[in-house]
Chain A
């Protein structure tokens, strides 16, 4: 009997009146794994940094951080900014990657319990829960606004969306063309407010859609052919899912990085703004 994963995560048990879903268990598992990793990393770091060159886990993590720093540097072109964005972008990247890949391990989707004749997997890839992807998207966009306000100031930042300043300057210049352009830009600014909501929706749905589609694909492929074929056919697609996992983690974190970068940079002109928008659309195209 083919059992496709439902769109919504399934509650497994309750803590008080709060239902704990299988996707929530996976995301909590991610937090626990990160905490354990942090413990061992700090222990190794203390040991190796005291004696000299890092080895093993610390060395491997340093390599990963160097890799991520290189990517962030490529967008920010400023190491100070890179270090400021690293906790958000790096944390996001590693968490999404971990959640995507852990969903491919045996046990996720296969261990579960039967309730009312229906099979409920105890573990489900965390990113197949839209609540998590939306939470991350909201966090990314809100963080970009907060950092933007703290970096360039509230009024300058607000002028990116509500361009009263431009209208005032245009009226002061008494040039009809400038006034017309200022009014058009004012309405473009208002559209920008809606685009912020679109950012959250697109970020969350893209990640959710890709990972959920992967789950469905693997389930369908495993169910289509009986016998050993059920084990063999999904293998190439699991490898493909490994790539999808890393690509989606990169896309989500890179878009967040671009949002952060745009929000924290002063507007010098339309050329630069357009260039940044092109960068965003290139990443989104992936």
Chain B
């Protein structure tokens, strides 16, 4: 509950203050005093000095350094981006050149390979023909030699058979048998 006596007590100090102000010229009642003023000024000065010299530098220097680092990073990022774009353009051009060069190299290589292949094929065909010819000649000579050998052998057999026929004087039936026998050996 609000007590009216207490409200009246509020008014009394104000009235006292007004009286004191009237008697002391007004300024003393506010507590203004040169000594206190200087003391508070010194206190405030010390506080500002602490703030200025001791609190701010550590943090603001670090903040400044960080800001500079971020600005530098942004500048570097812009520069890198620009360089990347330039590099991309250069790379595209170089890739185009390389592709053209590679294409001409491949074409030249293909032509050269085709020529080399044709040359090798021709050479191989020639060598093959040569070998076939050599083989044919050798087979012909071997065949001739074999025929000669067979003829010689046949002649010997005929001679042997004739000799045997003549030595034993056998009849025609026995002759025939010998001849057949001899001919059977020839086969």
Asked if A and B are interacting partners, one says yes
Task: Using CB atoms and an 8 Å cutoff, list the residues of chain A in contact with chain B.
Answer: 1-2, 4, 6-9, 18, 21, 24, 27-28, 30-31, 34-35, 37-38, 41-42, 45-46, 49, 54, 58, 61-62, 65-66, 83, 86-88, 90-92, 94-95, 129-132, 134-136, 138-139, 208, 220, 223-226
Which of A9, A62, A86 has a CB less than 8 Å from the CB of B36?
A: A9
- B residues near A86, Cβ cutoff 8 Å: 56, 60
Which of A34, A45, A208, A223 has a CB less than 8 Å from the CB of B50?
A: A34
- A residues near B39, Cβ cutoff 8 Å: 18, 24, 131
Instruction: Report how far A49 CA is from B62 CA in the complex, Å.
Output: 7
- B residues near A1, Cβ cutoff 8 Å: 9
- A residues near B17, Cβ cutoff 8 Å: 6-7
Q: Residue on B with the closest CB to A205?
A: B30
Residues A38 and B50 in contact, CB atoms below 8 Å apart: yes
Binds A, one of B41-49, B72-80, B110-118, B140-148: B41-49
Given A134-B37, A139-B44, A65 contacting B51 (CB threshold 8 A)? no
Task: Using CB atoms and an 8 Å cutoff, list the residues of chain B in contact with chain A.
Answer: 1-3, 6-7, 9-10, 13, 17, 28-33, 35-37, 39-41, 43-48, 50-52, 54-56, 58-60, 62-63
Residues A41 and B36 in contact, CB atoms below 8 Å apart: no
- A residues near B51, Cβ cutoff 8 Å: 34, 38, 87, 90-91, 94-95
- A residues near B46, Cβ cutoff 8 Å: 31
Q: How far is the CB of B71 from chain A (nearest CB, A)?
A: 12
Given A2-B9, A7-B29, A131-B33, A90 contacting B56 (CB threshold 8 A)? yes
The secondary-structure label for the interface of chain A is helix
Q: How far is the CB of B113 from chain A (nearest CB, A)?
A: 62
Residues B47 and A30 in contact, CB atoms below 8 Å apart: yes
- B residues near A21, Cβ cutoff 8 Å: 36
Q: Residue on B with the closest CB to A64?
A: B59
Residues B33 and A91 in contact, CB atoms below 8 Å apart: no
Residues B40 and A135 in contact, CB atoms below 8 Å apart: yes
Residues A41 and B37 in contact, CB atoms below 8 Å apart: no
Instruction: Report how far A37 CA is from B56 CA in the complex, Å.
Output: 11
Instruction: Report how far A91 CA is from B48 CA in the complex, Å.
Output: 6
